[in-house]
Amino acid sequence: MLTLPAFEAACEAVKKVTQETGLIYSKYFSDHTGNKIYFKPENMQLTGAYKLRGAYYTIGTLTEEERQRGLITASAGNHAQGVAYAAQCYGVKAVIVMPTTTPLIKVERTKAYGAEVVLYGDVYDQACEKAYELAAEHGYTFIHPFDDLRVATGQGTIAMEVIQDLPLVDYILVPIGGGGLATGVSTLAKMLKNNIKVIGVEPSGAACMKASLENGKVTTVSPVNTIADGTAVQTPGTKIFPYIQKNLDGIITVDDEELVVAFLDMVENHKMIVENSGLLTVAALKHLDVKGKKVVSILSGGNMDVITMSSVVQNGLIARDRIFTISVLLPDKPGELVRVSQVIADKRGNVIKLDHNQFFSTNRSAAVELKITLEAFGTEHKKEIIQALEEAGYKPKQIRPNL
Q: How far apart, in whole angstroms, are the C-alpha atoms of residue 376 and residue 8?
A: 52
Q: Is 93 annotated as catalytic?
A: no
Q: Which of 186, 277, 297, 300 is catalytic?
A: 300
Q: Which of 312, 364, 308 is nearest to 333 (CA)?
A: 364
DSSP labels, 53-117:
HHHHHHHHHS-HHHHHT-EEEE-SSHHHHHHHHHHHHHT--EEEEE-TTS-HHHHHHHHHTT-EE
Q: How far apart, in whole angstroms, are the C-alpha atoms of residue 299 and residue 288?
A: 17
357 touches 402 (CB < 8 A): no
Residue 198 phi, psi (nearest 5): -115, 120
Q: Is 289 helix (H, G, I), strand (E, B) or coil?
A: coil
Q: How far apart, in whole angstroms, are the C-alpha atoms of residue 26 and residue 43?
A: 16
Q: Which of 52, 48, 62 is nearest to 14 (CA)?
A: 52
Q: Is 51 annotated as catalytic?
A: yes
Could you check whether the bond before residue 223 is cis, i.e. omega within 30 degrees of 0? yes
- Pairing type for strands 250-254 and 197-203 reads parallel
DSSP labels, 143-188:
--SSS-HHHHHHHTHHHHHHHHH-TT--EEEEE-SSSHHHHHHHHH
Which residues does 118 contact at the CB level (< 8 Å), separation at least 6?
95, 96, 97, 98, 130, 134
Q: Which of 230, 319, 225 is nearest to 43 (CA)?
A: 230
Q: What is the DSSP letter of 361?
A: S
- Pairing type for strands 24-26 and 36-41 reads antiparallel
- Pairing type for strands 71-74 and 294-299 reads unpaired
Q: How far apart, in whole angstroms, are the C-alpha atoms of residue 115 and residue 322?
A: 42
Q: Which of 51, 130, 294, 382 is catalytic?
A: 51
The residues annotated as belonging to the active site are 51, 300
